[in-house]
Chains A and B, each alone.
Chain A
Amino acid sequence: MSTTSATAPDLTTRRAPGMGGFNLTVLRLEVRRLLRNRRTVIFAMVFPAFFFLIFGLNARYANERAGHGNVSAFIMISMALYGAVLATTTGGALVSIERAAGWSRQLRLTPLSAPAYIVIKVLTALVLGLASVVVVYAVGMFTGKPSMPGYLWVATGLSVWIGSLLFAAFGLFMGYLLPTENVMQILGFVLMIFAFGGGLFIPLSEYPHVLQTLATYTPLFGLNELTHAPLLGGSINISWVANVLAWLVIFAGGAIWRFRKDTARV
């Protein structure tokens, strides 16, 4: 196209892009950006796989039965969940860095709409979350220790991945709430506490009674129970679903609230 004539600019040829500017080039560049960050890759992929190798292969309990599979498979699911929530939280929390760098403001000089931006952030987080699950499951498969029927590898892997969406909302909320560029250093610590609270590292039955009760209210509790449910069989407890939904409302609501505040034109 050429609008380089010195006479009339032809305004009629100009239109706005579809889908608020959302496109796959941006998604590809965002994912590449995330994977370029060594720290993110180490925390969200290398650490969870490493934790699995430490906890998931212990000969004392690894081959013990757990529902339709063994304890090693149970621990693999826990570590995949830990990696996936770290990944999606990081993906969401990146908005903090983008705000600090003035990138969010720069984007307001482009056709990219605010909802399209959020969709890009969430999808980027989910791609990284999927990568975490795949890495942990691949390492598990390679060791040959985790045992469960083939369909359960898929079912648990998918539920971990989809469940990690909850933490994309958490990451966005924190990204808009916290002004710091080191937001992930804070969130890494917070997620570690959530992981203990949810029983990802140590079964909740090992905790004193008061802590057990308290732990059922933490954000990873419901997700941890639900993602292990296909392996363990048995019925799904309504309190797990309630836990996930309550935290989803809190995180997504918080993210929307902060996002509105951030993009409000003064």
Chain B
Amino acid sequence: METTKADHRLGTPATAGSLPLAVGLRGLRKNFGSVQAVKGIDLDIASGEIVAFLGPNGAGKTSTIDMILGLSQPTAGEVSVFGMHPRQAITRGLVSAVMQTGGLLKDLTVVETAQYTASLFAHSRPVAEVLERAGVTAIADRRVGKCSGGEQQRLRFAMALLSDPELLVLDEPTTGMDVEGRRGFWGAIRQDAAEGRTVLFATHYLEEADAYADRIILVRHGEIVADGTASEIKAMAAGRTVRATLPGADEAELRRIPGADTVELRGDTVLVHSNDSDSVARYLLTSTQARDLEITARGIEDAFIALTSDDNSTTSSATGASR
């Protein structure tokens, strides 16, 4: 897993050449009063990547996205978008976003809303073409206030495409959509991203991240707890947990067991998560005093919950492994 991770890290910049990073975050922090919403995020997103920001509600996804878009100011740390300040990238039409709700005027029609938005940029794609792409041509003359939630979301998508941005940011774009609406929406995004656009989307749906992202970043309590391809994240979840009783266990030693991904100590109990539970079990039974050994499978949902839950010990070791 460490190896795959490294490959991924090296691979992306190599194909991207000497391009500026689409997004660069350095020691990013955001406090709201005494609440630490973002607790130090470092992240590079290369041009052309499709990245999912996956985490439960309140993980700091929206706070991070707001700072990438220049809507809020970091308490500490730096944000750069294509090597610029976020606001500069926005005025050049390089970045656009589809927000969860709001942001529309009820008394304008769909096409007027698009014309309004397009007129603000120095460059824009033809309104008719973008409406077609977002699938709202048929309702172009409808007042926004009379559009359904899904139609409004497709209009927001159209508005985001008008400036032909290099980076498209989507904050939980399918919240409140039915299955069909969600599929249609992602179909349009995927078609669009095939043309080389960088996409960063926040979601709390594991399947959505799995299906549409090249890279998944798991966030919890304002920190990145895992970062890898969908298959790497799945691999973390696909393994088994070996549980044994081992008084006075040496955590560092256990980490060195071949195939051990995460290690957790709970008093005399040892929990080792691994894709190769056989070698772990063999090692524990032959090289240590471990007894009462038990092997259990962990599902993908369990992994997600484990990685994003409040239980610190599991995740801190997971972070170590995934980084």
Contacts and interface: CB of A to CB of B under 8 A. Distances in A.
Interface of A: 1, 3-9, 11, 13-18, 21, 23, 25-26, 29, 32-33, 36-37, 98, 101-103, 105-112, 265-266
B119 A23 contact: yes
Contacts of B93: 14, 111
B225 to A, nearest CB: 26
B48 A6 contact: yes
Nearest to A20: B91
Contact of A265 (B72, B104, B112, B163): B72
Contact of B102 (A32, A37, A102): A102
Interface in B44-102: 47-48, 69-73, 82, 88, 90-97, 99, 101-102
Contact of A33 (B97, B103, B105, B159): B105
A21 B90 CA distance: 12
A111 B120 contact: yes
A109 B97 contact: yes
A23 B117 CA distance: 11
A244 to B, nearest CB: 32
A102 B103 contact: yes
A111 B195 contact: no
Interface string B108-140: 100010011101111101000000000000000
Contacts, number: 122
Given A8-B19, A14-B93, A25 B71 contact: no
The 8 closest A-B pairs by CB, nearest first: A102-B102, A106-B103, A25-B119, A16-B91, A6-B196, A14-B92, A111-B91, A4-B195
Say what secondary structure dominates the interface of chain A: loop
B208 interface: no
8 contacts: A6-B196, A8-B17, A9-B47, A11-B94, A14-B94, A15-B122, A103-B102, A109-B71
Contacts of A106: 99, 102-104, 159
Contact of B115 (A25, A98, A109): A25
B120 A105 contact: no
A103 B105 contact: yes
B20 interface: yes
B183 interface: no
B102 A101 contact: yes
Nearest to B95: A109
Contact of A16 (B48, B99, B122, B164): B122
Interface in B18-60: 19-20, 47-48
A7 B196 contact: yes
A109 B105 contact: no
Contacts of A1: 123, 125, 164
B72 A266 contact: yes
A266 B116 CA distance: 27
A13 B93 CA distance: 11
Given A15-B122, A265-B73, A98 B105 contact: yes
Nearest to A37: B107
A29 B97 contact: no
